Structure 1
Amino acid sequence: MPELKDLEHLLGPSPWGSSGRSFGEAEAAWGIQLPPDFKSVGLFYGDALITDFLFICGPEMLTEKGEWMSDYVRRGKSRTIPRPVLPDREGMLLWGHTIEGDRLFLEDMGSGVWTVSAFRRNLGDWYESGLPIIDWLVGVFGDEVAKDWMPEWPDRHWFETD
């Protein structure tokens, strides 16, 4: 089972170094505990656009993006996103997006397991991977997962944090 160090091997070090970032505000605002594997990824690579394509939410953007998407789904603006989104009760966690408009979610499968699902904008469909976030990201950046809708990655990755 892949770990954060396996993702770091593919992407390189965190653009944030070892700063004291936390998801405490989001967890308090929503009254939940976020999945631990998401928190580790979000603290390490969150609030950054990776290689001009994939954005991962971190402590700065998670609440704003989640509340916007939750409201969007609640108002019936999407027929393709099948379930509520946090902070709505029992909602999925919007954890990122691509520059092409794909929306990336984690769905609670019970027993502490959250798996990656996505609204794929260009394909106009709903995707369920069955994989936890670190497994999915290692597979994506290792060109083994989601090859039909993720780009061909360069040998070296870069981050945009502003």
Structure 2
Amino acid sequence: MSWLEEVRRIMPSHPGAGDTVDWDTIEASWGTPFPSDYKEFMAEYGGGAIDDYLSLMAPEPHSEPGGESSYLGMQQETWNAEDVWRAGRPETAEIPRLIAWGVDSSSDLLCWLATDSDPDKWPVVVWNRDDVRWTEYAPGMVEFLCRLFRAEFDECPLGAVSLWGVGSPRFLHRAEEQRLRKAGISPWTGEPDPFAGMFGD
């Protein structure tokens, strides 16, 4: 069983999930191919959130600092990761190539250390804000998620244990979350949203 098949078993996607991505344009703008497991995950799930805790970013074109980037988007969070790396390691002359793919409610950053020419060999690096440190994990993104769900690391990599050993995490595509909110339903409880309409669309 592949890691994606195991993630599917633990966390089924829902109708309407998944993103169609112009990978040629994305990869040309970033100047690198992306990992195959991330591409498969985007096709199956797309950008969205897990249990209202971990946001997984769909790819967006690369731009220079100060350019356009969506809120909580891949480019913006990559800039944030570079700033955190720079602040935490002032003695390091050069920042390694980081590409952010996730951020959580604890303000942790989940990135690839994108230094190998083969993106399928990129390890995951996590900035744990509570521990104030970067930690490298050998597996790729999908294996990382699977092992997080199964609590297979020595300790939880993230600032909260919301997804640590969770039996049945729930994924919601960003469009489905927005649709439910517009309908006045809390996306994560299924109950009427008491804040519906208070903050505009």
Aligned to 1:93, which of 79, 92, 99?
Answer: 99
Aligned-residue offset at 1:56: 0.9
Q: Map 1:135-154 onto structure 2 (within 5 A).
A: 135-145=143-153, 146-147=155-156, 149=158, 150-151=161-162, 152=164, 153=166
Q: Say if 1:72 and 1:78, in contact at 8 Å, map to a contact too.
A: no
Q: What is the Cα deviation at residue 29 of structure 1?
A: 1.9
Q: CA deviation at 1:91?
A: 1.4
Q: CA separation in 1, counterparts of 2:123 and 2:85?
A: 24
Query: What RMSD over aligned residues (CA atoms) do the two structures have, in Å?
Result: 3.1
1:159 to 172, 187, 190: 172
Deviation of the 1:132 alpha carbon = 1.6
**Pairing 1:72-151 to 2, within 5 Å after superposition:** 72=80, 78-80=86-88, 84=95, 91-108=97-114, 110=116, 112=118, 113-145=121-153, 146-147=155-156, 149=158, 150-151=161-162
Q: Provide TM-score, normalisation by structure 1.
A: 0.76
Q: Deviations over 1:68-111 (max 9, x none)?
A: 24444666785237764xxxxx6121111111110001113536
Change (3 A) 1:158 1:94: closer
Unmatched 5+ residue regions in structure 2? Answer: 63-68, 179-201
Rg larger for: 2
Contact 2:37–2:141 at 8 Å: present in 1 too?
yes
